Structures are given as C-alpha cells and as structure tokens.
Chains A and B, each alone.
Chain A
Amino acid sequence: MRNMKQIRIFSIIALALSLASCSLKEDTSAVVNPYDFFNTKAQIRAAVNGCYGPMKYFHTIKYYIALEGATDLASTDGSAQQDARFDINPASPGAATLTWKWPWVGIRYCLSTLAGIERSTLSDSEKMPYAVETRILMSYYYYVLTSFFGDVPFYEDYIENEEDMTRIARLGRMSAVETRKTLIDELLLYVPTLPQIRTSDQEYNTCGAAMGWMLIAKMAAWNKDWDNVIYACEHLESIYGDLSQYPYMDVCFRFKNTPESIFEVNFEYEEGGIDYTPYSSLGISSLVLPYPKTAGTAIYDGVTIPEIGINATCYTPVRPTSHMKNDIAPADKGDIRRDINISRGWNGQKFGGNSQWMGQKFWCFGVYKNYDNNHYKIFRYADALLLLAEAWFEKGEYSKSVEYLNIVRARAEVAPYSYVSAVKLRGEIRDERARELFGEFGRKYDLVRWGIWYEQVRAYVSYGKAQENIRPCHEYYPIPDAQCARSGRILSNPEYDKYNLSGTE
C-alpha cells in the first residue's frame, strides 16, 4: 500500500514536471517589427513608397474647390459643397477634414522612415538618396499644411513611444515662416546631393532634386525670401533648360509625367484602366466636365465629346469666372492656352448658350463614373520661371523679371510684354500665372501669398452664396474643431473667433 502511494506520488510529480516551463515571449512571426525592417534596399524602398500613400487621400474634389473652384478665376456656382460657398467654420471645416488628417499621416510615415533609414545597417551612400527623398516628401506635406492652415505645429522627431506622442500632442500652432525657414535650410543642405535631373527622368518619376528645388522656391516665395527663390529656380533652370522644348499641350492632366512636370499626384492605375479605390471617387474629373451631360450619351451641354465617353458622372461643375474669361484671358487673342484652359466647344460645335467650361486640360478621357485616373499637375517648370519673374520683380530687377515673363509668354504664342511701370508689371506677372497655371491646385495659395485673397475673391467669385459667406478669416482653413478639442484646446482658431465663426466666447 505504501508502495502504491509512492507510485502515485511519483507519477504526479512526473506529470507536473512534464509541463516544461514555457516562454512567455511573444512570437512575432505574425507582425512586421519596424526594428527588424529597413535592412535591405527593397525594404527601405517599400517604406519610402509608403510615404507617398497619403497624397491620394487629400488631393480631392474638396481640396480642388478650395484651391481653384472658389477663387477669382473659377467658381462652383450652385454647388452644395461647403467649400464652394465658404460655409466653413471650425466645427464644419469642409476640405480641412482630410487636408488636416492626411498630410500629418504622411509626416508620420516620413519620420518613421527617416528613423528606420538611420538605424539601417546599409552604407550611408546607399541610404542617403532614400533619406533625402523622404525629407522632400515631408517638406511637401508641411508645405501643404502651412499653405492651407497658416501656422501649424512643426516637429521632425520620430514618435517612438508614449512620451514622444504626448509631447507632440501638446504642440500648438507654430510660426509658418519659421517652419518654412527650417525646411528650406535642410533642403538646401540635402537636395544638392541628389542627381540633378528632371522628375520625368527619375525612375518611376519619384521626388528627386527637381521637386526639392521647387519646394525651396515655393516656401521661400511664401516667406518672401526672394534670394532663395532665385537660387532654387536657377537650379531648376539649369536642369530643365529651354522652356520652348516642352510643348504646352503636355500640361493636360491626361498626359502623365511629361518632361516639364516637376510634381504630379499619380492616380493612374493601368491594369484595369480604372481606379476602384474608394478615395478615387473624390477625384476631380466629375467637377470639370461641360454641364449638364445627357444621360446615357456622350453629349455634354449639347456637344458630343466621344473622347470623354458615355460613362462619366457629372457634378455641379467648377466654371471659369467672367473675370477669367473676359479680363484675364479673353478669347481669340492668339493665346494657345486659352482653349486648353477654357472650352467653348468641341470638334467645331459650340456649347449651348455659348457657355464656357473648364477646358480639356482637366478632362479625363474615357472616364468611368467618377473614377478619375488623370494625374494632377502640382508643380511644373513654367511655374518656376514665373516665380523667377516675380522674385526679380520683388528685388527691383524689372528687366530680368520681364525676361522670364516673356519666356512663358513666348511658348504661349503671346506677344512679348514690355515694361511700362512696376505696378503694371506686378499685375501682368499675376495675370500670367492665372493664364499659365489655371486650375493647377495653386490659385488660392498665390492669392493668399500676395495678400489679396479676400478682396480679389470677394470681387470676382461668381457664386452668390460664396460672396455672401466669405470672411477674411477664410484665407486659411480652420483646424477642425474636433482636433482642437483633442489637443485640449492647445490648438485653436483665433482668426475664426474674431468673425464669430467658431463660437469661442
């Protein structure tokens, strides 16, 4: 009996011991750990690719209306879009919802990629180009944020843990001028290390030196730092050379990554020909077609446009204002840009009631519903030349200014401009930007930069509701109220408070 007992006890102990002590360390084969990443060029490339992702989520209809479709040049008459009629306040911020969110996501991707590249065991010469490309992307996101919202938080730290997160979450608005200054200085350091080639010559048209210089020029222009505008644009001039080699027709959004391009937001997806991602339905093609479309046909405002096809969806469109149509770019003056920017008809047929609509520059041929697969031209070489004209003007070098202005005019087959007075030259440069860059995601930024946004838009926007609602504070979009609340009201919209639009007492 005693023996039996021992056997029992022994067997139990044996059983208990058979429970080999197990490790409670997590098996991580199912997750990708950022600390085990960035070890090969392919991995770094994939991380840099990720940094581009947020682009397609904020270059949307609303962003387009905000920048182009509610300005002195074009307006979206009759539209229910709040951005079209300045029905914008912190609680109901329209385009700001996406334009606040996605650039910050982009910055997060860039900063974590930069930190990863830093950790990577690859050699500096292998890593450097990726790091610079990532910095350029980050600068673009900050460029959008500072241009759209004015003063915004600025940081360049990788958020690695809770403390970092808490610290960053407490940042309030910071001077946009200072932010741009820091970014310009950084870019000036890094951009020269890249191959000095055109974006169209970059593999897959990624952001390279050309985009870097352009961002320096754009941010410097905002800061009225004309020396750096000139410095950067002259680099572009040496990369891109003579403007006349780039046919103007190439500015159409349907021609992708053309030689003149410096930065385009890619939407094209070739295999299926159409893009089914939910965000692409926010693409601008439905906003820029002649209106209305006859259902089930390719007839747009009475004119058959077989190139667009029968499947397009049309929304209440953006249309050129009479200021654009009649004052800035009157028809039949020989400017070849006129009929590409603004359409009066197609194949010899005129639109009903002599209407004029957004031109073929913006149309997506063969579009399916609202799945726009054009690329959006954000920056191109002619823009840089006009910035040079502006910078030389601001520095008082009127003849140099006129020289660059005329490079752009020459390609448009417009007679050269000759200097009359400083005031007239300034007006001419501004109008030239309107004619050259019409509808290319930038009018609002130019107007704000020049400080004439409120007067100009108020005077010329053709949509009555827009004229009714517009306030000087709408120059910059408000930070969404929900985000101000999340920051514990460290973020705020004092300009909107002044116009009693945000409800703060």
Chain B
Amino acid sequence: MKKLLLTILAVAACLPAFAQVRKVSGVVRDDNGETLPGAIVVVKSGSEKGNVASSATTDEKGRYTVECTDKDYISVYFLGYSEVVYPVKGQNTMDINLVPDASQRLEDVVVIGYGAVKKADLTGSVTNVRMAEIRDEPVLSIDQALQGRVAGLEITSSDGEPGSDSVIRIRGARSLPANKEGEAAKTTTDDPLIVVDGVADVVSSLNDINPADIEAISVLKDASATAIYGARGANGVIIITTKGSSDSSDSAQNFSLSFNASGGVSMLPRNLDLMNAEQYGIFRNEYYQHIGTSSSMNMNTPLSGLSVKTPFTNGEGTDWIQDVCRVAPYQNYNLSMNGFNGKQKFYASLSYSDEQGIIQKSGKQNITGTLNVSNKVFKWLTLGAYIRYQYRLQDNFLTQIGGGGIYDAAQYLSPLITPSDSYNPLNNTAANITNAVVRLNENTDHTDRSMLNMSLNASVRIADPLKYKAKFSYYFFDRQRYKYYPSTLPSRTDAMGGSASRENYGEQSLYFEHTLEYSKEFGRHHVDAMAGQTYKHHTSHRLSLSGSGYIVDAVKWNNMSAVTDKESYDAETDYWLKEKMAFFGRLNYNYRKRYYFTFTGRFDGASNFAANHKWGFFPSGAFKWVVSKEPWLGKAEWLDDLSLKLSLGQSGNDPNKAYRSLARMDGSSEGYPFGGSYSQSYTQARTGSPDLSWETTTEGNIALDLAVLNNRLEFSLEAYKSVTSGLILQVKVPQHTGYEDKYQNIGRTSSRGIEFSVSSRNISKRNFSWTTSFTISHNTSMVEDLGNDGEVVLRQAPVQVAYTTVGYRVGYPINSYWGFQYAGVWHNQEEIERNKITHAYANDQSSTKLGYPIYVDQNHDGSLDSRDIVWLGSPDPVVYGGLQNNFRFKQLSLGVFFTYSLGGKVLNYSEFYMAGSRRTNQYAYMVNAWHPIANPESNLPRAGIFDGSALPSSFLIHDSSYLRLKTVSLSYRFNIKSRVIRELEASLSGENLYLWTNYNGFDPDVSSGSVKGYDNSWYPKARRFVLSVKLKY
C-alpha cells in the first residue's frame, strides 16, 4: 500500500520536475537551540501548498538531507511544534528552528458557524478545545473528557452507566424545562446544539462519535458566535470537526496508519456507609420498643422478646450494593489511516469498544466506522464526501440501586435478608418482592442503535474573491429496545405471567446547505462576507408494543400478541415531521487587523413554530480591538497579544417538538367500560396555542485576551450577561380549569457570569517541559419572571403531600431546592410545652412525641404546611473548572487533571428513607439516632419514626463541593528506529482516582434527567484504570 502510494506520489512529483534537482541539507533545532531528532521534513513542489515531492526524517543529531529544486519549498514539523515552510531559492544548507506549538495559536484555525477563521481574527467568544490533552485519557466519552476544560462549559454527569449522557450547559441554564413526564413532556431544553462537520442534529448524543475520530472541537459561547444558528443557538453550540473532513487542515503526512489498543478495569470507587446487620438489628429493636404498634414489645422487653433476638451475632449481613456491583473489564481497539497527495485526501477508521459497567450485566459495545474523502477535481472545484456509521449495543441497567423502589432497590434492602429472599419483612403490604439481585439475574433488557450519516459537499471557486459551497447530508437513526421480565419473578403471581416490551424509534433527515463566501483586501481594509441558505426535512417515528401475561418465558419479546387480554397489551405509534428553512449571513471587516467588526443575522422558519410565528430573525454584532497592534504599544516586546472584544446579539431556543402549538384530542381504547368491554374514547388533551413561539436570548459579552512572554502565558477573561425572555413553560394551572398545565411563552430568566482561563508553558526544555492550563467559571442563572405562576415544579417529594422539592420561583436561581428547615427532634417534654407558646417548630405527625423530627414553623401558626417551605439552595456551583498539568521528561509524559466545583448543593434522595424510615435500611450515622436513654441529645430522628418517607427538608440537602483527581495519565514514547513503525507509545491512565468531598452519597457530581444535583443513586460513577498501546506506521 505504501509503495503504491509512493509511486503515485513520485509520478505526481515528476510532472513539474523540469528544474534542476539538487540536494539540500541542514539541522533542525528547537527554540532553545537544541537539535530535534525525528522531525519530519517535507519537500513541496512549486508552492507553499504544493504536492509532496519527497520527505525525510531528521537523524539523532537533528540532521536531514532532501532532494529538491529551486522552486520548491521545504516544510518541517515536529510534534508539539508549529510547522514552518521556507522556499529553497538556491540554498544548499537550510538550518531550521522550530518554535513550540503554543506560540502559533493565533494562527490556528477555529471552526465557527458556517466557516472557519484564524484565532487572531476571531471576534466572538469561541473556545477551541486542545484535543492533544484529551487523547491520552481513559475517559470514554467526549462529554466527560470536556469536563473542566472549557471555561463556561459546565458538564454534570447524569450517572455512571456506560453510554449515559451528561448534562451539558454552556454558560448555565436559561430555559426552564419542566421535564417531569419524560421526553414527551419536554418543552425546550438547555442542551447546546451539536454540529458535526457543519451539520446539526446528526448525532443523538456526543457518545455517538468515536473520540479517536475527532480533529477539533469548538465551543461557541456568546451570541455573536451563536446567532448564526438562529432559533437553535441560544444554548451555545459545540462544533465537532472530524479527521479528514474537507475543511480541516490535517494535511501533513502523505500516509499513515495507526492502531490503538487499550484495556482496563472499572470499579465502584466508594460504597455508601450503610448499617450492617448488627447495627440494623439494634435499630429494628429500638423501633419496636418505642414506636412499633406491637403491644408485646416496649421499653422493658428483654432482648429475647424483641423482634431481632440476637442482633450482636448478626455480623455484617448482606451488602446489597456490593452484591450487584463488580470489577468490570474494558477494551477498545481503534485502527485508522489517512493519506494525502496534494489533491486527494482520505481518512478512514474502524473502532470497536466494549465497556462493561460496574453493575453486573450492564454495559455497552460500540462499533464505529468512518470514511472521509475529498478530491480537488479542478483548480476551482473540490468535492468531498463522508460516511459515518455507528452501531451500539447497550445492555441496559437491570436493577435498581436507589430511587423510589424502597422494597427492592439495593440500597434500601435490609442487611438481615439475603439475595435468595423474596419476602421483605419491611414491606407493609407483605407482597413478595423481586430483590435487586434477582432482578439482575432474571430480567433482560437491551437496546441496539445504529446511526448513519452521509454527506456530499462541493466547493467551487467562482471568481477569485467569490466561493460557493454546497452541502447535502442524510442522517438515519434507528433504536430498538428489547425488554422482558419473566413470569418467574418472585413478585409475580401465577396469573400475571411475564411482561415484554419492544420499542422502535427512528429518525431520518435530509439537509441542504448553500453558502457563498467573499473575501477581499482593499489596501488596509479587509472584508469578507458569507451568505447562505439551508433547508431541512426531518421525520421521526416511534412504534412501541408492550404486554404482560406471557406464559412462555423462553420466547421473550418474540410473540407479542400472545396475551389473553387486550387490556394488558398496549400498542403505540407516533410520527413527527418537521421542516425548517433559514437564510443567514455574516459580514466581517477589519482595518489593519487592528479593528474588527462582525455582523451576523439569520432568518429562521420552521413548521413546528406556531401559526402566528413561522419566521424569526436573530441578529448579532461584535467588535474587537487588538490593542497590542496599536503603534503606541509597538515597542512592548513582551506583549504578544492584547485584545478587547465586545459583542451583543440574539439567538433563540425553539420548542423543538412538532405539533406542540396545536389543539389536540387523544384517543384511547381503554376508556370507561360499558357492558364489560372498553369503549373507544377521545378526549381533549390540549388547547391550541397559536402564539407559542421560541425563547429569545439576548446576550452581551466582553472579553479580554492577553498573551505575553513570547506567548508562554496566555490569559482570557470574559464576562457576560444574558436575558432570556418568552420562556416556553409547561405552566401548572389550577385543576379547576380541568387542565394540569399549559404551554406558554411566559417568563424570563437571566444569566451572568465570569470566565477566566490561563495557560502557561512553565518550562520548555528539550528534555523537560511543563505546561499548565487552568479554568475557573462562575455563573448565576436566575428566574426573573414566571408570568402568573408562583412556581414551576420539577420534582416533588415522595410523601403524601407532594411538596415541591425542586422547582423554579421568581427571584431564585434556576433549579432551586425547596423544603422545610430541619431543626432536629423533640428532646424532652419541656421543649414541646415551650413550643406550644412560641410556635417556633412543628412536626408533621398529628401527635407530638419525643424524638419526632421537627422543622422550623416559619409562620408560627403551629402547623406544618406549604407555607413553611423555604429555599434550600441551588445545585449551581459558585465556581467550577479544571486544572491540567502536563509534564514531559524525555520520552515520558505525565498528565494530571483535576476538576473542581465549589459552593453548589446536592439533594440526597435516599435520605427520604434511609434516615429514620422503618421501611428501609439506614445510613450508619443513624446508630446515633435520638434515644431516650442512650442518646437523648441527638438531633437525628428516632428509629423508625417515618412509616414512609421523611419530609423534604434541609436534612437532605448537602454541600456538593468537590475536588476530583479526574485523570492521571502516564505515557512513554519509545525511541523507534524502525522504518515500519514510526511511533510506539504505551500509557497507563486512571480516571476518577480520588474525590475530596463531604457529601455522603456516591458522588456529588450527579443529576437526574435534566435536574442537576438531584441524586437518586441511579448508577454510581466508576473509577477506571486503562493500559493502552498506540502504534503508528
């Protein structure tokens, strides 16, 4: 293969080779004057960007020799240094000095919406992610890899299940998604728009992209950068450019093949501190002695008369969480090749990964294939195409750790029973349970998904300053879910049978994009402009079958109609069609690269916009002043860049779902029974909202970039303020309207924040280098207006009165926690008597007893109700960010990455039960529960005080501050002299290695759905060690 390619290259090189061929030699050195062995020297024929004629590598002393002609150019590059190109022009000896890469960052190309600019010419707030720092790390998804690396980009894990998506927020939350009933009820989201190779919505999540295929990631933050995406831009945009895609500049080598293999293990980093069997036995006895309804047990009952007669010999008992967890293997293989011959360029990769989860039987396997090609057909025409495919097999999480299943989820189960038990004595309905371990063994549930994205594009140079580009893209997504719970589960009786479900969801879209680009210098004035149009046709559909009563477990979901009863069988079908169209443009002007102006605008039209609002316009403007280019500063050699950027603009967040603005009726075959069978019925589900519109965010941004000391130290400081108005809310309405909620463009939020990042090359010697980058961000997002409504509820307490636990209220941060203010317990009768006068506290039970938990009676009315609910904090951290340190000593490099988050709050859902309920196991701290003799001063509720759950209160809210040693990776690059293998690198890395936090749950970096900081112990996050070998040919 290589020979063939070389032949082609040689032939290509011969064509213009009329000039005299001669030898040129020289030495390549770094910025400290030390020689660089292994640097690559390429001869480019005719011009700086000419075809590759030949190439060579420097020897141990940095020397090289190549053959070339006078008209050729010599280009030299070495990893970590910026490439240089010099004309030969009759020289025989060319010694070349390279400077480290960072010094040319201003020349880096940054991908922005519908185009790319040099970093120096960037006017908006766009952060380019340094992929080099990410590549060696064992994080398995891009979202996790990005955590802490970009100021203003906040990434919160949803849970630790392989393949689960993180919650990504650019500059905080703005819209208020009331997402209680799952996907279908989502109004808008706060998720950023993800654009891959110029096309939006061609991945269902960041997990759909093979991290190895990514060339660059840009994060668009301010409205000047995002307004070009119009109604979809308000949440920020993440643009991913894959390797070999036609606009990228990965043109260095003529051919390379690389293979990467890695393997490792994942494990549960820390368990919850729960009671063991001995502690829990004592707890049960205390409950029976003091609260229990059994008349045979009281304070004076001897041990032999109690419920647990010998608690002290119980030992540890069952550790349910350990019983469902495991040390899970991980493996990943990636093979890729790319080639370039001046005209044709290609990149192909194939990868397989198998990531097993730390909970038994869960995990995912991925197969990803990519092919990117482009061909310069004529001087004026370049054609390109890519195809990307991914197949994912996801073994879904079969059991439960926490959440609401208090009689069968792992953390709640009593250590006094064992995995073979199907009777849970704590369950007051006395029904059999299917415990967490049995679920794991008996149930089946997996999802497979395939995703295909194909694109053709053309770039035409019409006349010199004018360029036309066209793009045509097709996206296909298919998800199939297979689920079966057998009839043999202990919680099922004979008559119930097994239950099965099959679901298919698919999406297809067609996308066209046309852009015209114009670029011209007029003396000291530079103007470039772009105008474009897009059209998109998107359909999605869902087919879901579910039934119960299957009597043959072996066929699982393969005989869905084999149920006896229509009522236990459910078939649903849905279809959505969306059409979108947009016209957009951008005008850039600069004077001597000193004063920059950018204006953008976009007209967006979409079928899912309501009847009276089919089109919207989103403008923005930006100004940049490069202070360091001012002549009066010209002498300051230490100053490489000082620029000030200002921008103001508008972008939108559209309702996304089709048909939301239409009145609709829903049909059901399970209506009211007449004559013993269900009648067909149709009922009005929603009123029309013909005025429903997108949300509009107006954002102003100010930024200061500073680079000093030969670019060794770079700072960036940004501040912004944005206002989002016309929020689409699923507003709760009083039930006497007959409705529970309505969609309305009502309300306003605001965000403001400061972002600071610094990167520094502390030491840069030939054998040793040390670089540091650090980000710190602060964001406050507030609810300013909710229209008529006092609050929007996101999560309610699992108690009889569904008090709001997470919701929005005017004047408070988005995603605030609400509840009662915990005030300890009644310690003695005197306290109770005193309180009858002061009404300082109240308990929620109808009677008042010692050891009952008490809460602050905010309005001193002697009872506890929704008026006593107060704000308990917000999950938003005060500051968050990351600190990366990279060290290189000769061939050894070490990367250490910390992330941190300070000042936020997290809600530990399990404490609704595990701090006082008689229905579940308890946190170990409950051994110090209030006790009339042993512990009369304690402020923890008395053993078994809650028959169900505790009230939502400050007791459950914890500080979520943490510092995490997120990744450490140590790699060694072998000195290879072989012609076959150019690079060989081995690395050992660890993820989530250490966590400093005061939180008592698994991990404070957690969310539930889109509700940040709501910890229902869904799936704990893993710690991982990975060993990998990288080979490059």
Do A34 and B676 touch (CB < 8 A)?
Answer: no
Do A56 and B672 touch (CB < 8 A)?
Answer: yes
CB of A101 closer than 8 Å to a CB of B: yes
Do A90 and B674 touch (CB < 8 A)?
Answer: no
What per-residue 1/0 map shows which CB atoms of A202-229 lie under 8 Å from chain B?
Answer: 0011100000000000000000000000
Q: Which residues of B contact A101 (CB under 8 A)?
A: 735
With A32-B667, A104-B738 known to touch, is A486 a contact of B732 (CB < 8 Å)? yes
Do A24 and B846 touch (CB < 8 A)?
Answer: no
CB of A168 closer than 8 Å to a CB of B: yes
Q: Which residues of B contact A276 (CB under 8 A)?
A: 548, 565, 567-568
Q: Which residues of A contact B732 (CB under 8 A)?
A: 486
The answer, among B566, B676, B682, B691, for a CB contact under 8 Å with A32, is: B682
CB of A416 closer than 8 Å to a CB of B: no
Do B672 and A34 touch (CB < 8 A)?
Answer: no
Can you identify 16 A-B contacts, CB atoms within 8 angstroms? Answer: A8-B460, A12-B514, A22-B581, A23-B607, A30-B577, A33-B662, A34-B663, A89-B863, A108-B737, A159-B738, A169-B733, A267-B673, A271-B564, A276-B548, A487-B734, A502-B865
B588-638 contacts to A (CB < 8 Å): 605-609, 614
CB of B313 closer than 8 Å to a CB of A: no
Taking residues whose C-beta sits less than 8 angstroms from the other chain, chain B's interface range is: 35 or more
Q: Which residues of B contact A27 (CB under 8 A)?
A: 577, 607
Do A32 and B666 touch (CB < 8 A)?
Answer: yes
With A32-B667, A165-B739 known to touch, is A89 a contact of B865 (CB < 8 Å)? yes
- Whole-angstrom distance between the Cβ of A271 and the nearest chain B Cβ: 6
CB of A349 closer than 8 Å to a CB of B: no
Do A50 and B682 touch (CB < 8 A)?
Answer: yes
Other 14 A-B pairs with CB < 8 A, given A24-B609, A168-B737: A19-B533, A22-B535, A24-B580, A24-B606, A24-B607, A43-B682, A46-B682, A91-B863, A100-B735, A111-B738, A161-B687, A161-B688, A267-B673, A268-B673
Cα–Cα distance between A47 and B674 once the two chains are bound (Å): 14
- Whole-angstrom distance between the Cβ of B810 and the nearest chain A Cβ: 13
CB of A189 closer than 8 Å to a CB of B: no
The answer, among B678, B744, B865, for a CB contact under 8 Å with A162, is: B744
Do A275 and B671 touch (CB < 8 A)?
Answer: no
Name B534's closest neighbour in chain A (CB-CB). Answer: A19
Cα–Cα distance between A108 and B736 once the two chains are bound (Å): 9
Interface-located stretch among B323-331, B462-470, B551-559, B828-836: B462-470
Q: Which residues of B contact A113 (CB under 8 A)?
A: 684
CB of B689 closer than 8 Å to a CB of A: yes
Interface-located stretch among A63-71, A179-187, A477-485: A477-485
CB of A452 closer than 8 Å to a CB of B: no
Q: Which residues of A contact B801 (CB under 8 A)?
A: 91-92, 481-482
CB of A347 closer than 8 Å to a CB of B: no
Cα–Cα distance between A460 and B681 once the two chains are bound (Å): 44
Do A49 and B681 touch (CB < 8 A)?
Answer: yes
Q: Which residues of A contact B380 (CB under 8 A)?
A: 8
CB of B659 closer than 8 Å to a CB of A: yes
Do A482 and B664 touch (CB < 8 A)?
Answer: no
Do A491 and B684 touch (CB < 8 A)?
Answer: no
Do B579 and A22 touch (CB < 8 A)?
Answer: yes
Do A35 and B802 touch (CB < 8 A)?
Answer: no
Cα–Cα distance between A321 and B662 once the two chains are bound (Å): 54
CB of B294 closer than 8 Å to a CB of A: no
A270-284 contacts to B (CB < 8 Å): 270-272, 275-277
Closest CB pairs A-B (n = 9): A108-B738, A272-B565, A270-B676, A91-B865, A52-B672, A50-B683, A112-B684, A50-B681, A204-B674
Do A501 and B863 touch (CB < 8 A)?
Answer: yes
- Whole-angstrom distance between the Cβ of A344 and the nearest chain B Cβ: 28
Name B496's closest neighbour in chain A (CB-CB). Answer: A276
CB of A505 closer than 8 Å to a CB of B: yes
Do B676 and A269 touch (CB < 8 A)?
Answer: yes
Q: Which residues of A contact B606 (CB under 8 A)?
A: 24
Which one of A27, A90, A171 has the greatest number of beta carbons of chain B within 10 Å?
A27
With A31-B664, A165-B737, A169-B737 known to touch, is A277 a contact of B670 (CB < 8 Å)? yes
What per-residue 1/0 map shows which CB atoms of A1-42 lie under 8 Å from chain B?
Answer: 000010011001001100100111111111111110100000
The answer, among B681, B862, B868, for a CB contact under 8 Å with A46, is: B681
Which one of B658, B662, B665, B732 has the greatest number of beta carbons of chain A within 10 Å?
B665
CB of B675 closer than 8 Å to a CB of A: yes
A62-96 contacts to B (CB < 8 Å): 80, 82, 87, 89-92
Q: Which residues of A contact B533 (CB under 8 A)?
A: 16, 19
Q: Which residues of A contact B581 (CB under 8 A)?
A: 22, 24
CB of B67 closer than 8 Å to a CB of A: no
Name B689's closest neighbour in chain A (CB-CB). Answer: A162
Do B862 and A5 touch (CB < 8 A)?
Answer: no
Do B662 and A26 touch (CB < 8 A)?
Answer: yes
Do A55 and B672 touch (CB < 8 A)?
Answer: yes
Do B673 and A266 touch (CB < 8 A)?
Answer: yes
Do B667 and A46 touch (CB < 8 A)?
Answer: yes
CB of B866 closer than 8 Å to a CB of A: yes
Do A268 and B676 touch (CB < 8 A)?
Answer: yes
The size of the chain A interface, using a CB distance under 8 A, is 92
Do A30 and B861 touch (CB < 8 A)?
Answer: no
What per-residue 1/0 map shows which CB atoms of B555-586 lie under 8 Å from chain A?
Answer: 00000000011111000001111011100000
What per-residue 1/0 map shows which CB atoms of A436-470 lie under 8 Å from chain B?
Answer: 00000000000000000000000000000000010
The answer, among B605, B734, B800, for a CB contact under 8 Å with A491, is: B734
Number of A-B pairs, beta carbon distance below 8 Å: 253
Question: Which residues on A are within 8 Å of B, measured CB to CB?
Answer: 5, 8-9, 12, 15-16, 19, 22-35, 37, 43, 46-47, 49-53, 55-56, 80, 82, 87, 89-92, 100-101, 104-109, 111-113, 152-153, 159-162, 164-166, 168-169, 171, 204-206, 266-272, 275-277, 311, 368, 469, 481-483, 485-488, 491, 500-505
Name A484's closest neighbour in chain B (CB-CB). Answer: B734
With A22-B579, A271-B566, A469-B846 known to touch, is A33 a contact of B681 (CB < 8 Å)? no
Do A483 and B736 touch (CB < 8 A)?
Answer: yes
Q: Which residues of B contact A43 (CB under 8 A)?
A: 682
Name B463's closest neighbour in chain A (CB-CB). Answer: A5
Name A105's closest neighbour in chain B (CB-CB). Answer: B738
- Whole-angstrom distance between the Cβ of B1003 and the nearest chain A Cβ: 33
- Whole-angstrom distance between the Cβ of A317 and the nearest chain B Cβ: 16
Cα–Cα distance between A280 and B216 once the two chains are bound (Å): 56
With A165-B687, A483-B734 known to touch, is A90 a contact of B662 (CB < 8 Å)? no
Q: Which residues of A contact B865 (CB under 8 A)?
A: 89-92, 481, 502-503
- Whole-angstrom distance between the Cβ of A144 and the nearest chain B Cβ: 13
- Whole-angstrom distance between the Cβ of B786 and the nearest chain A Cβ: 12
Q: Which residues of B contact A266 (CB under 8 A)?
A: 672-674
CB of B677 closer than 8 Å to a CB of A: yes
Cα–Cα distance between A279 and B281 once the two chains are bound (Å): 36
Q: Which residues of B contact A33 (CB under 8 A)?
A: 662-665
The answer, among B470, B668, B736, for a CB contact under 8 Å with A171, is: B736
Q: Which residues of B contact A35 (CB under 8 A)?
A: 663
Do B861 and A92 touch (CB < 8 A)?
Answer: no
B643-696 contacts to A (CB < 8 Å): 658-659, 662-668, 670-684, 687-689, 691
- Whole-angstrom distance between the Cβ of A89 and the nearest chain B Cβ: 7
Cα–Cα distance between A368 and B802 once the two chains are bound (Å): 30
- Whole-angstrom distance between the Cβ of B179 and the nearest chain A Cβ: 19
Cα–Cα distance between A152 and B676 once the two chains are bound (Å): 34
- Whole-angstrom distance between the Cβ of A25 and the nearest chain B Cβ: 7
Cα–Cα distance between A165 and B675 once the two chains are bound (Å): 36
Name A35's closest neighbour in chain B (CB-CB). Answer: B663
Q: Which residues of B contact A28 (CB under 8 A)?
A: 659, 662
With A12-B462, A206-B674 known to touch, is A505 a contact of B682 (CB < 8 Å)? no
Do B579 and A30 touch (CB < 8 A)?
Answer: no
Q: Which residues of B contact A80 (CB under 8 A)?
A: 947
CB of B512 closer than 8 Å to a CB of A: yes
Cα–Cα distance between A108 and B658 once the two chains are bound (Å): 24
Cα–Cα distance between A57 and B944 once the two chains are bound (Å): 33
Do A16 and B678 touch (CB < 8 A)?
Answer: no
- Whole-angstrom distance between the Cβ of B128 and the nearest chain A Cβ: 32
